[in-house]
Amino acid sequence: MTTETLAEHLRANPIAGDILYNYFCGNKSLIHADYLIDDSVRNIKPFKGHGLLFTNPYNKKAETELARVNSWEEVATNLL
């Protein structure tokens, strides 16, 4: 998903200080942000901020304490 698509779904406003990135990084602990939305528990675990696990067919059975989201509307609800 592109930054433009995320901004559309989340109604983000870069002028108001909302910053969205489509960031590819093997080591998520290097990302300094408040939130990380990812579909891999393994990617979110080392992240120091608040992780949201985006549900996909291959992670539905993963047992985790992470907050799950099933849609971009749920992401918006969790961030607001």
pTM above 0.75, yes or no: no
Amino acid at 34: D
Backbone angles phi, psi at 46, to 5 degrees: -80, -10
CA gap 46, 28 in Å, rounded: 6
Domain that holds residue 52: 3-79
Ordered alpha helix ranges (H), the chain: 3-10, 41-44, 72-79
Q: What is the CATH number of the domain that holds 10?
A: 3.40.50.1000
Segment 31-63, tens digit of pLDDT? 777 888 899 999 899 988 899 999 999 999 988
Q: In this predicted structure, what is the pLDDT of residue 23?
A: 63
How many domains is the chain partitioned into structurally?
A: 1
